[in-house]
Structure 1
């Protein structure tokens, strides 16, 4: 029986008293919180007793979700939580003087905190956290700050492999005012960027890594891969099928008068595809996509077919021998296939540009 009571005491009573001593009173907590607002503490002064030293701030990030990736604006919107740690020597206390308190919450605006900002923010940035957010401070001065924020950052788009493309985006943090000689940002290391990720329907995160820059900046990089299933069946497959119809324009008899109409319809179809891609891909993207180049080539090809068809109709109406020429009938298909193959080879050569 005594052993059971002892076990219950160790597992429940001792953890409950973890941050407060057994003799902690409300007055002890109030006195400790008042230290941040006393004349001896100034939140505008770096929390170092020796102001010539460099204050090290460790930075980590937890990514919750990719909210949106506006490709036309080249802006990435993410939901994140920062993990910020530093040593506040001016706020440390002796536990015995405050009823054994080992740690306490302070309002984030009552104590010094690093002036972090997102260097590659898409919009103007106003700072992290809110008035209701608190920081956790231990008796030895270790401070932990966990602001949750929705960030909108710039992300350059590389569209050559669209829609099978990968994009690299980053969140670049540094101090707004302090030079490296006064404040240095450090990464948590390999675990600097953690994922508590909610699946995005358009983009998948393939890898993450952290880079420390000099002077005193930390960059979190995200490798994003487009989920191409939608584009595969609604864009790529229709383009290929319509392209395969092009040589068969020359199978339509000249005397029917439908050959130029069929060719014109194919030309307009490729124009619509090109217009749809133009809406998705930003105007200032780094180079044209292979899909756009292919469509441009097919537009040129179908435009050439329209021209040839109109010339043939003109000849057919003016000269009777054209209609009876067996050579022209057999040459139509071979000419169309030859031109089609030449255009495809020309488009493939664009990959080397």
Structure 2
């Protein structure tokens, strides 16, 4: 009887010990395992620092996927090189400690304050104006049942953007947002792309700038005297300027004013209004350049081709002032004042050259007609209608002025066209090499 009692007691102690052991294992599993029963327990766990330590990363190397959604281009000051945007970053990573079982219709995701969980501390490197709060401050983090965390950070940023203004206002600019983690090196936080391009689904069109394309470019930054390597994700945006505004208020008035300089040669010399007219045109060019100098971007490398064109128009207008003064001074000289001999010689040689060309052209026509009537086919001897032994003639000052007025008009026009062609060729060469470097 006693034996059976002892056996029953021993069996009861074993069963009680086994139950206590299982309860202990279950409690230990609750404290240490990443599997939480439901979402309510997840909130309770995040409030207990002894169970979940937000200062400890979820793994030795956390892979963080980053994306960018562009909503607005607020402004782009090409003169100050400030690019202002509104959008949000989307960060996604995995934390196996924050899993729970969502069977039986339980909640599949929850939102928690960002200070409750571990998250990557990311910054934008090329910021110009410091943010009032840290990036993503006071923004909730979404936790899914499988331990995936998604954090959307609203970002109103003013960043530095290098500008290349040679083709202004037909230029394209490439601006970027450089996202990195300075506190965690690459072996602790591995940044990856969430998508291949920036999200433009919610983008609002800008009046002056059009987003042509977006891209992500990874590169690396050495810190702590080249001891650590930090990964940087660069969200690049290629912007195209809308040139209609500048065409209407700068380019068209400049072209019209430049064309008006040629009208100077069609004004009569004896009226004396030429000098006043060309001075008015020069003043108009100066006013155009002064009014819009603030809206034109500056560059320390190459000036804008529009600035070059307006400067050339000003130089040519000043050259025309010198020509006008020369011709009018010669025209208004009294009859008793003799012009220099080189002027008479130049006019004489120019007219003789013109007569020779006319005579040779007429001789070729006559020879062609005579060949048809000569049986042996030998043409007659060329007749020079220009008398080489004509006496030296002195021209009147007004005749000299009229000749130089026409001659300088031709020279000025040809020179102006050559300068414009040189500017266009320069622009074409720069455009070709720029596209070649961009494609490489």
Q: Settle same-fold status: TM greater than 0.5.
A: yes
Partner deviation per Cα, 1:252-284 (whole Å, 9 max, x = no partner) = 234433212211222222222333443123333
Report the equivalent of 1:11. Answer: none
CA contact (8 A) 2:82 2:160 kept: yes
Structure 2: gaps (5+ residues) = 1-37, 221-229, 340-395, 431-440
Residues in 1 aligned to 2:195 and 2:255: alpha-carbon distance in whole angstroms: 47
> Which of the residues 50, 59, 66 maps onto 1:59?
66
Residues in 1 aligned to 2:168 and 2:71: alpha-carbon distance in whole angstroms: 26
Partner deviation per Cα, 1:137-176 (whole Å, 9 max, x = no partner) = 0222110111222121211111111111111111111112
- In the alignment, does 2:346 pair up with 1:346? no
CA contact (8 A) 1:61 1:192 kept: yes
Tell me whether 231-240 or 135-144 shows the greater mean CA deviation. 231-240
SS of residue in 2 equivalent to 1:284: coil
Report the equivalent of 1:23. Answer: none
Alignment length (residue pairs) = 321
Residues in 2 aligned to 1:287 and 1:327: alpha-carbon distance in whole angstroms: 44
> Which of the residues 316, 336, 341 maps onto 2:409?
336
Residue 234 of structure 1 deviates from its aligned partner by: 2.1
Report the equivalent of 2:351. Answer: none
CA contact (8 A) 1:85 1:145 kept: yes
Residue 288 of structure 1 deviates from its aligned partner by: 0.8
User: What does 1:147-166 align with in structure 2 at a 5 Å threshold?
Assistant: 147-166=153-172
Report the equivalent of 2:238. Answer: 223
Report the equivalent of 2:54. Answer: 43
SS of residue in 2 equivalent to 1:196: coil
- Closer/same/farther in 2, CA of residues 74 and 152 from structure 1, 3 Å limit: same
- Closer/same/farther in 2, CA of residues 292 and 344 from structure 1, 3 Å limit: farther
SS of residue in 2 equivalent to 1:197: coil
SS of residue in 2 equivalent to 1:147: strand
Report the equivalent of 1:325. Answer: 398
Residue 31 of structure 1 deviates from its aligned partner by: 4.2
- Closer/same/farther in 2, CA of residues 264 and 298 from structure 1, 3 Å limit: same
Report the equivalent of 1:246. Answer: 261
Please state which structure has a larger fraction of its residues in strand. 1
CA contact (8 A) 1:92 1:140 kept: yes
Structure 1: gaps (5+ residues) = 1-27
Bigger Rg, structure 1 or 2: 2
- In the alignment, does 2:47 pair up with 1:32? no
Residue 347 of structure 1 deviates from its aligned partner by: 4.5
Residues in 1 aligned to 2:80 and 2:53: alpha-carbon distance in whole angstroms: 42
CA contact (8 A) 1:158 1:285 kept: no
Residues in 2 aligned to 1:277 and 1:345: alpha-carbon distance in whole angstroms: 27
CA contact (8 A) 2:165 2:298 kept: no
- In the alignment, does 2:294 pair up with 1:279? yes
